[in-house]
């Protein structure tokens, strides 16, 4: 008996390979990352994933405006296709004096950038060489934002692909996958509404959802299709149809901040993907400034795109007056070395390691603009905020932070010394802001895997390839009117009409039976007689 058992065991051990616990290490994947948008705050979200994939031994080729070139540590598996060098990236391009936000302007701007960046990158010699090459890829990673330009590569290399979104999903990304985003409680990222909307806000949100979905297909993908066909050949399928084949989308959001909402299994929240787990030590002067401020510090930064120093003199005067009048120190990311009229409690720095500063225990308030990267860093560090949203998704992010009770939101157009000082005072003096920020911080961090590990898992999962056909929803094969149940509603309405009509006809027949025509004539004559 015993010998038999041993033999069976030996047989099992020798003949059947042990199930691998980490399948990921089995296959070295050839990965193409293709990113046409020059926004630094977008690529900052993608970079940790791309680097970690190379770090784990996969071959990663990245088309972007942000080559690693000499970055350390060196990653021999990471190859760059540099789109244009540092000259064309979007840093400090938003001038506060010409800032004039409207939904239509926002859409037109996104469309314009999308087409221009598509054209520029497809004109790039190295990109053209790649298109003509006989390279092979197991996985393509691209951005889900304002252009589907690089879906041409999906057609060209016939590889499974995933999308990355550095912000809350664009309405068209949800729409094409039929990821249910009920506009009754899921605000579109272009509006400044939280999950709880009034009636007119819901009307606006509903219309914006529908209109943006439609407009993207017509005004963005229409002309992009032409550019893609010029570069990849005339038989590229409709970009919208290629897009429906996406295997997963990794989104830089988390329900703890933006609100719980249904997601398909392949729409994965990895909010905070860009935030490193370990931080470099702070520069000595900043460290000392923060250490010496046990009464608390306001950290003031409006991100990489906005040029704070383009603020008009009146607003700047109001801001300086407010900051000078509070009993706390202020550390301000300001793009000039000098700030005329700088109050004594304020330190200005051209460049700051923002995420590390926010983690300093003396930072008690973050004066932000609501860009998702900074906002996530604030949430991750458990710091309450005063947010002055200005464009893009900032209104939506600010509203999300307000709805979680961690932020005061101010309007840029009405920003003055009084409102700013009142908001900062409130965040320092009302303890609920700090309590909510600490509670939110806990939920934000409490996840099965870190955002980077989650993203790497999904990239390798899709790259292995067995699962992709299981991920695609049947919705991808339905027409829009089927998805909106218009055919079903039409059919049911038709039945209802038939039933009503039959009922009406039957009533007439019954009526005639009970009151035959002669009787009614009699009745009439009777009443006439009465008169
Ligand atoms: C989507 O994927 C399926 C299955 O791999 C493929 O047959 C189809 O051609 C793809 N559609 C487009 C438009 O690329």
Concatenating the DSSP letter of every residue in 458-477 gives HHHHHHH-SSHHHHS-GGGG
407 lines ligand 1 (CB under 6 A): no
In DSSP terms, 332 is beta-bridged to: 300, 348
Nearest CA to ligand 1 atom 14: 242
- Are 248 and 267 in contact, with CB atoms under 8 Å apart? yes
- Identify whether the C-beta of residue 110 lies closer than 8 Å to the C-beta of residue 190: no
Question: What token pair was written down for 286?
Answer: 């900043």
The closest residue, in CA terms, to atom 2 on ligand 1 is 245
Atom of ligand 1 nearest to the CA of 238: 13
DSSP code of residue 166: S
Q: 407-409 and 329-333 as β-strands: parallel, antiparallel, unpaired?
A: unpaired
242 lines ligand 1 (CB under 6 A): yes
Cβ atoms of 57 and 460 within 8 Å: the answer is: no
pLDDT at 522: 55
Task: Check pocket membership of 237 for ligand 1, CB cut-off 6 A.
Answer: yes
Residues contacting 409, CB < 8 A, separation 6+: 192, 370, 386, 387, 388, 389, 398, 399, 401, 402
- Separation of alpha carbons 122 and 197, rounded Å: 42
- The alpha carbon torsion through 30, 36, 40, 45 (nearest 10 deg) reads -40
pLDDT at 212: 92
C-alpha 489 – ligand 1 centre gap (Å)? 30
The answer to whether the CB of 430 is under 6 A from ligand 1 is no
Q: Which atom of ligand 1 is nearest to the CA of 237?
A: 13
Best CA proximity match to 146, nearest among 239, 80, 230: 239
pLDDT of residue 431: 97
DSSP H helical segments within 352-414, as ranges?
A: 354-358, 372-381, 394-403
Distance from Cα 12 to the centre of ligand 1, integer Å: 40
Report the alpha-carbon distance of residue 83 to residue 41 in Å, rounded: 17
pLDDT at 519: 57
Residues 6 or more apart in contact with residue 512 via CB below 8 angstroms: none
Residue in 388, 355, 384, 359 with CA at minimum distance from that of residue 371: 388
pLDDT at 484: 87
The residue whose C-alpha atom lies closest to atom 9 belonging to ligand 1 is 242
The answer to whether the beta carbons of residues 164 and 45 sit under 8 Å apart is yes
pLDDT at 103: 83
3-class DSSP state of 373: helix
Going by C-alpha positions, the residue among 374, 425, 364, 363 that lies closest to residue 401 is 374
Whether the predicted model's global pTM rises above the 0.85 cut: yes
Ligand 1 centroid from CA 132, angstroms? 21
Asked whether 245 lines ligand 1 (CB < 6 A), one says: yes
- Please tell me if the CB atom of residue 262 comes closer than 6 angstroms to any atom of ligand 1: no
325 lines ligand 1 (CB under 6 A): no
Q: Ligand 1 pocket test: pick from 148, 154, 237, 245 the residue with the most ligand atoms within 8 Å of its Cβ.
A: 245
| Mean pLDDT, 10 residues at a time, the chain of 531 residues | 53 47 67 94 95 97 91 92 71 65 86 94 95 97 96 97 96 86 92 93 94 92 96 96 95 96 95 93 96 96 80 90 96 86 93 94 97 97 97 94 97 92 97 98 97 97 91 87 94 98 96 80 50 45
CA nearest neighbour of 335 among 297, 291, 302: 302
Closest protein CA for atom 13 of ligand 1: 242
3-class DSSP state of 440: helix
Asked if residue 158 has its Cβ within 6 Å of ligand 1, the reply is: no
Q: How far is the CA of 48 from the CAs of 28, 34, 45, 304, 510, in angstroms?
A: 19, 15, 7, 18, 77
Contacts of 497 (CB under 8 A, 6+ apart): none
**Helices 313-325 + 417-429 axis angle, to 10:** 30
Q: For 32, phi and psi rounded to 5 degrees?
A: -110, 120
Q: Whose CA is nearest to atom 6 of ligand 1?
A: 245
Q: Which residue has the tokens 């603020």?
A: 311
> What is the pLDDT, as a whole number, of residue 92?
60
Ligand 1 centroid to Cα of residue 477, in Å, is 11
């Amino acid at each position: 008996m015993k010998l038999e058992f041993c033999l069976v065991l030996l047989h099992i051990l020798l003949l059947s390979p042990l199930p691998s616990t980490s399948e990921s290490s089995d296959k070295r994947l050839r990965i193409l990352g293709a990113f046409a948008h020059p926004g630094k705050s977008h690529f900052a979200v993608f970079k940790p994933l791309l680097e970690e994939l190379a770090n784990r031994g996969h071959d990663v080729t990245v088309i972007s405006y942000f080559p690693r070139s000499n970055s350390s540590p060196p990653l021999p598996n990471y190859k760059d296709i540099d789109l244009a060098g540092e000259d064309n990236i979007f840093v400090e391009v938003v001038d506060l004096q010409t800032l004039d936000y409207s939904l239509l302007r926002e859409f037109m701007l996104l469309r314009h950038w999308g087409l221009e960046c598509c054209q520029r990158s497809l004109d790039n010699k190295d990109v053209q060489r790649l298109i003509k090459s006989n390279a092979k890829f197991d996985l393509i990673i691209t951005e889900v934002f304002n252009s589907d330009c690089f879906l041409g590569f999906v057609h060209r290399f016939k590889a499974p692909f995933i999308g990355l979104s550095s912000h809350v999903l664009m309405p068209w990304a949800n729409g094409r996958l039929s990821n249910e985003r009920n506009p009754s409680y899921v605000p579109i990222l272009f509006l400044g509404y939280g999950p709880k909307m009034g009636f007119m806000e819901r009307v606006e949100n509903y219309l914006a959802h529908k209109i943006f979905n439609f407009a993207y297909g017509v005004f963005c993908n229409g002309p992009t299709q032409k550019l893609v066909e010029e570069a990849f050949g005339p038989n590229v399928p409709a970009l919208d149809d290629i897009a429906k084949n996406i295997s997963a989308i990794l989104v830089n959001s988390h329900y703890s901040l933006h609100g719980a909402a249904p997601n398909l299994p392949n729409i994965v929240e990895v909010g905070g993907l860009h935030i490193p787990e370990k931080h470099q030590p702070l520069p000595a002067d900043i460290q000392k400034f923060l250490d010496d401020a046990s009464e608390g510090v306001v950290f003031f930064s409006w991100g990489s795109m906005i040029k704070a120093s383009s603020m008009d003199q009146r607003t700047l005067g109001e801001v300086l007056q407010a900051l000078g009048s509070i009993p706390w120190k202020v550390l301000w990311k300001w793009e000039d070395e000098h700030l005329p009229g700088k109050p004594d409690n304020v330190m200005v720095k051209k460049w700051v390691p923002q995420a590390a500063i926010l983690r300093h225990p003396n930072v008690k308030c973050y004066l932000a603009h609501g860009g998702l990267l900074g906002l996530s860093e604030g949430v991750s560090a458990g710091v309450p905020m005063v947010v002055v949203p200005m464009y893009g998704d900032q209104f939506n992010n600010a509203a999300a932070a307000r709805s979680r009770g961690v932020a005061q939101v101010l309007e840029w157009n009405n920003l003055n010394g009084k409102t700013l000082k009142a908001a900062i005072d409130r965040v320092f003096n009302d303890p609920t802001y700090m309590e909510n920020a600490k509670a939110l911080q806990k939920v934000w961090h409490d996840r099965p895997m870190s955002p980077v590990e989650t993203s790497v898992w999904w990239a390798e999962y899709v790259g292995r390839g067995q699962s992709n056909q299981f991920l695609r929803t049947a919705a991808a094969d339905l027409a829009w009117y089927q998805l909106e149940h218009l055919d079903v509603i039409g059919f049911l309405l038709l039945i209802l009409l038939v039933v009503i009509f039959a009922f009406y006809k039957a009533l007439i027949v019954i009526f005639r039976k009970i009151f035959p025509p002669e009787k009614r004539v009699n009745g009439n004559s009777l009443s006439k007689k009465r008169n």
